[in-house]
Amino acid sequence: MQANTFAHLDGSILRIGIVAARFNQNLTDAMLADCVNALALCGVKESNMVTVRVPGAFELPVAAATLADQRDLDAIICLGVLIKGETKHDHYIADACANGIMNVALGAEIPVLFGVLTTENLTQAEVRSLGTHKKGWEAGMSAVEMALAMKAIS
Ligand code: RBF
């Protein structure tokens, strides 16, 4: 399984939004906790983290758009766990979620991170959220890296 590595990042001047879906709550709670830990490790102050919970992955883009409209965040992280079921719902939700998140990022010109697991089954989701591959942590680190990169080029 692929994982990312990160250099030391100084996020002490950053304000970061987090939108986390509640669906599959034990997994999304773990991703949220790992994400907050990653931000704290980079020096992002707790008072500079804005967290919003939404029902499911489908609702992530609209909440991210509303946060982006406030224009005081350097990055927004979207977290969710979408697990394949017996029908095609996961495709529709995943497509809407990924496209919606990218639209928010391009519209607001801030990084909006896609920390959404789209897995075949619960075991895959558990490995990526609770297990060794902490994708919530990775999303947090990626947000700090992107926020700093955007400041450097703007
Ligand atoms: N939301 C998730 O975040 N992960 C899921 O695995 C998930 N599965 C769903 C399965 C079905 C059949 C439906 C109807 C919704 C599911 N949702 C899931 C919730 C969805 O993201 C959204 O919150 C609701 O559809 C309300 O708009």
- Domains of the chain by range and CATH? 25-147 (3.40.50.960)
- pLDDT tens sequence across 116-150: 999 999 999 999 999 878 999 999 999 999 999 99
Contacts with 87 (C-beta within 8 Å, 6 or more apart), sequence order: none
- Give the end-to-end CA distance of the chain in Å, rounded to a whole number: 34
**Alpha-helical runs (H) found in 42-134:** 60-69, 89-108, 122-129
Regions of the chain short of the pLDDT cut 50: none
93 CA: nearest ligand 1 atom: 21
96 phi, psi to nearest 5 deg: -60, -40
Q: Please tell me the predicted confidence (pLDDT) of residue 132.
A: 78
Closest CA to 31 of 122, 123, 117, 146: 117
pLDDT at 122: 97
In this structure, the residues whose C-beta lies within 6 A of any atom of ligand 1 are 21, 23-24, 55-59, 80-83, 85, 89, 93
pLDDT for res 7: 86
Residue whose structure tokens are 């079921």:
85
For residue 16, report the distance from its CA to the centre of ligand 1, in Å.
Answer: 25
Percent of the chain clearing pLDDT 90 (strictly above): 93
